[in-house]
A = this chain, B = another copy of it.
Amino acid sequence: MHTKTVRIAQLSFQTNNERMQTRDEKKAQTRKSLMDAALALTGNGSNFSSISLREVAKNAGVVPTSFYRHFTDMEELGLNIIDDLGLMLRRLMRTARQSEGYFDALARSSVEFYANYVCANKNYFFFMEQVKTGGTPVLRKAIRKELKYFANELVLDVRPLKAFAEINDADLDILCQLIVDTVFENTIDLLDQLEENPDYIDTYTEHTLKKLRLIWLGAMAWRS
């Protein structure tokens, strides 16, 4: 009855708050709810591999059996989160590239930007750090693939720089992997400390910056 009214409303004009939704839209929505619920739980101290299907369903406001309409498994849920995470990282990369001073990787602003991005996507990074070493082998592999992509993109960006002319391709791969690892490595510290000590973001930025500068110095002196 009520829905019928809404339906008419949709046909005539779009109501924003309680707008009509197609079946696919609604499905996509609860699917997102499930993924968000899982992310929220991991971001709240639980370990992804120890949270239950039922817990996720409950937090998503859905009955447990409904979970199966979207994922066969918690692992599949995890893989889908990793897909989203990949998108997020690409967005990060794209935004960073557009910013001025990007090619000055040693600029404080770059690291600061990353740190803020982490804070803005706390749950994703929590999930990532957690699953990177603590997830099932399948999930670990998936995460590492994303990180590898990240490192490869970095290679493309710095390959043309004449400062690195003396570094061959294989070594440049390793260098970029080192850079990426260094940035991501202490992200978990940042996330942990952040809750009780918001100023830690400065410490993190400063420390990471020094490490990157040191690596940079090494790279300039490197002869393959």
Indicate how many identical chains form the complex.
2
Contact of A137 (CB < 8 Å), options: B45, B48, B175, B177: B45
A192 CB–B CB distance under 8 Å: yes
A133 CB–B CB distance under 8 Å: yes
Given the complex of chains A and B, what is the CA–CA distance between A214 and B211 in angstroms?
12
A51 (CB) vs chain B CBs: closest residue: B50
Given the complex of chains A and B, what is the CA–CA distance between A171 and B217 in angstroms?
14
Contact yes or no, A133 B188, CB < 8 A: yes
Contact yes or no, A188 B45, CB < 8 A: no
Q: 0/1 per residue, A183-224, Cβ < 8 Å to B? A: 001101100100000000000000100110111111111100
A181 CB–B CB distance under 8 Å: yes
A132 CB–B CB distance under 8 Å: yes
| Residue contacts A-B, CB under 8 angstroms, 24 given | A47-B49, A47-B134, A129-B133, A130-B133, A132-B133, A133-B134, A133-B188, A140-B188, A140-B192, A174-B207, A175-B214, A178-B211, A181-B186, A185-B185, A214-B218, A214-B219, A215-B215, A216-B218, A217-B218, A217-B221, A217-B222, A218-B218, A218-B221, A220-B221
Chain A positions within 8 Å of B, measured between CB atoms, are 45, 47-50, 129-137, 140, 144, 171, 174-175, 177-178, 181-182, 185-186, 188-189, 192, 207, 210-211, 213-222
The 4 A-B pairs of least Cβ separation, nearest first, read A134-B134, A218-B218, A217-B218, A50-B50
